[in-house]
Structure 1
Amino acid sequence: MHAQPGDRNCKNEAIGGSHYGPVIVYLSKVDNAASADGSSAWFKIFEDGWSAKSGAGSGDDDNWGVKDLNACCGKMDVPISKDLADGDYLLRAEVIALHTAGSSGGAQFYMTCYQISISGGTGTAKPSTVSFPGAYKASDPGILVNIHSKLSGYVVPGGSVASIGTTKAAGSGCGSGCASTCDASKGPVGTAIPVTGGGGAGTSPGTGSPPSCTVAKYGQCGGQGWTGCTTCASGSTCQGVSVPYYYQCA
């Protein structure tokens, strides 16, 4: 999973620009994945959220699912339970970026959806479900949170992981599965579309490198400690979203 379509370069962070937050995966049982519209019920099968890091001064310095995703070149092992029923499913893989989530509407959601088919399952699993929209509220503690301050805990939104699902400990590494062994340059290329919840507008970008490169829309272009590109691609401008911490092209 990479923010930029077609990008499989492990030298680039999958979700860059200090967009820290949880990684969440849901499934939805459907009659025909090719024609399903996503309005059916969903159940959570995976999450990689947050864990405290010794000596961390703020939530930015703690362990996050996004940091694990970046460390593993955009790959995350998501086991599929043998207890699921055979048939078609939609799989929703999602990152919630919390760098501007200190005010309502500031969290950013990066999602991609896959059409999959499961065979050989027992069909005994009956997980509880949620709906989209409806699973998230702007006031949820996992969506409205200031990660630039020290955190004592974090609750991943979207309800509990199903009993047949997996909860990965943030900061636990890539493991021994596909996340550490698969070739990121192989396989089909998917897309992830950022949905911006908004935030306060600033007046000036942070400092960084000279304009020898450009930042795509929704990418980071400035902020406290930012040393990357500060020039936005044509059609967008560098705007303060969480001044002075974060500016992005919009």
Structure 2
Amino acid sequence: MIVKALVSYDGFNYAGWQKQENALGIQQVIEEALYKITKENVDVVASGRTDAGVHAFGQVFHFETNKNIPAIQYERALNALLPKDIRILKTEEMPDDFHARFSAVGKRYDYYCSYDIKNPFNYKYRNLLTKKLDIEAMKNASKVFLGSHDFTSFASSKIDPRKPRVKTISNIEIIEEGMDVHFIFEGTGFLRYQVRMMTGTLIAVGQHKIGVDDVQRMLDAKDKSACRYNASSCGLYLVEVKYNETN
């Protein structure tokens, strides 16, 4: 049986999604809980990896099991074993051809900044700002990223060279919400660090350090060294993974 799970987590206490030898990943915590339930060595496959400190409202993973347990019951069983900063929102049985990563057709990431630097809780969940941003300038610059582009300049140098660098971004919104600045990025998918690097670049625009032409030159360069901006991980949230209606 293939089980699809929707999970939300606070990434502050973890070294990212992926299980690691010398640090605690969210994947490891979930797999250990599944072993207690199924007594099987279950491999959990996510829609994509999130880095250390990154949060999720709507990460998706799947696993395969031979255990005769209705898929819907894994939600309650896992939540009884998982720490409170990892919560399973939904579990359901899927067709045999479902894959959390390869079946995905789109993703949404949100990024939060805050001017409220005196709030002692914000440092875990917001990128703190000390100067007012020019929102209109950032909105104008964000148009450079819309559409299908090679985002090599806005990606980690550690990405497998065989992995396609072309991604399609369908929507970018930048909204002031009280003391927060809220970014929304929607697209077919994103390279490692892409959202954080685009956000960091747009913040630099908002601080009048660079202009729209500079952003365009970075994108056109298709060169990892072209962009030196990378917003902190704490403000990033994986909000939604999109699938076709059949998934």
TM-score range, shorter chain: under 0.3
Q: Which one has the bigger helix percentage?
A: 2
TM-score (norm 1): 0.26
Whichever structure has more strand as a proportion of its residues is: 2
